[in-house]
Amino acid sequence: MKVTVVGLGAIGGFVAARLLAAGHDVQALARGATLAAVRARGLALAHRDGTTTHHAITASDRAEALAPADLVVVALKGPALVAGIDALAPLLAHRPLVLPMMNGVPWWFLRTAPQPDARPLQSVDPGGRIADAITLDDVLGAVVHVSCSCPAPGHVRHHNGLRLIVGEPRGGASERVQRVAALLADGGFEVETSTDVRRDVWYKLWGNMTMNPVSALTGATCDRILDDELVRAFMARAMDEAAAIGARIGCPIAQGADDRMALTRQLGAFKTSMLQDAEAGRPLELDALVAAVREIGQRVGVPTPHVDTLLGLTRLMARTRGLLPA
C-alpha cells in the first residue's frame, strides 16, 4: 500500500518513520519548519534505546504535489483538520482509505451509533465540512496507545507503547481492516483489530478526557495529579458522567473511575500530550476531548456539570494564553 501521512508531528512522524524503516512507500503532507527539516535532514526518530535514526521521505506542503495513495493517515490536531480540510481535497479525490490517528471523539462517531445521528458534532466538525469531504465508507477507526513527543521540527521521540487498534466505524470485521493492520504490524506496531472500535474510542477518551486538561491547567505530571485526593475525586465524577453517556450511545464502560486511574498511576510521572502542547504554546485539543463529551451529553440527555466545569476552566486558561481562538 502506498501511504500518505498528513502531519509529521509526534504521532504522524512516528508512524511514518516506522513504516519507512520497514521499507514501505510513504510520503507526507507537512509544512513550515517541519517540512524544511525533513527535506534537509530526513525524518529523525529517537528510539527508547537512546539511538536516533534518520529516514528520507518525500514531503510537500501542497496536496496536489503528492502521488495518489491507497491509505491516508491523518495525524493532525482536531482544529488543524477543520481548518485544512479543503486543502486535502487532492488527496481524497480518488477515495483512498482514510485512517484518522487523532485524539478524542472523531467526526463520524455518532453517525455509526446504534441509533445513528447524522447531525454534525459542532465541537469537532463545525457545519459538517469534514463529513462532507470524507465519506463514511472511506474511513477506518483507530485508537492510538503510543506516547511520543516532538522536541524539534522533523524530530520525533518515542517514549512508550506500540499498541494500535483498528476497526470499521460501523463495527464488524473486514478485509480492508486486516490489510491496514498487517501494514502497521509490519512497521513494528502491536496491532489489534476490533469489531467495535467505537467502544475502544470511547474507553480511551474516558481515561484521558480529565487527565489531559487538568494537567494543562495545573502544569502537573500525572503522578502529582493523582496524589491530590480532591482533584482525583473531581476527575472521577467527570468520568462517571462520561460513562453514563457511553451507556446511552452503545459504548458501556464496566470499569470504575478509581480502577482506571490506578492504571494511569502505573505509568509514573509523565506529561500528557495536552500539557506538552501548553508548554510549547501550541493550540489545545479541548474540543475533541472535552467539548464533544458535553455536546453528546446534551443530545442524549445526560447532565455533565463536572465536564462543563473542566471545559470552562481549561478553555478560559487556553484563551487567556492564546492557546485557543477566542
Would you name the residues annotated as active-site residues? 204
Residues in the chain: 326
Sheet holding 3-6, edge to edge: 58-60, 26-29, 3-6, 71-74, 97-100
Residue keyed to cell 480540510: 85
Angle at which helices 305-320 and 292-300 cross, to 10°: 150
C-alpha to C-alpha distance for 125 and 59, rounded to whole angstroms: 27
What is the Cα–Cα distance from 166 to 235, expressed in whole angstroms? 28
Report strand pairing: 43-46 vs 52-55: antiparallel
Q: Which cell is 313 given?
A: 476552566
Helices (H), 85-195: 89-92, 129-133, 175-186
DSSP string, 239-263: HHHHHHHHHHTT----S-HHHHHHH
Rounded to 5°, the CA angle 213-214-220 comes to: 120
Detail the DSSP E strand segments found in 189-319.
190-194
Q: Which of 139, 132, 144, 130 is nearest to 176 (CA)?
A: 139
Q: Exposed, middle or buried by CB within 10 Å (0-12, 13-18, 19+), for 231?
A: middle
* CB 75 within 8 Å of CB 15: yes
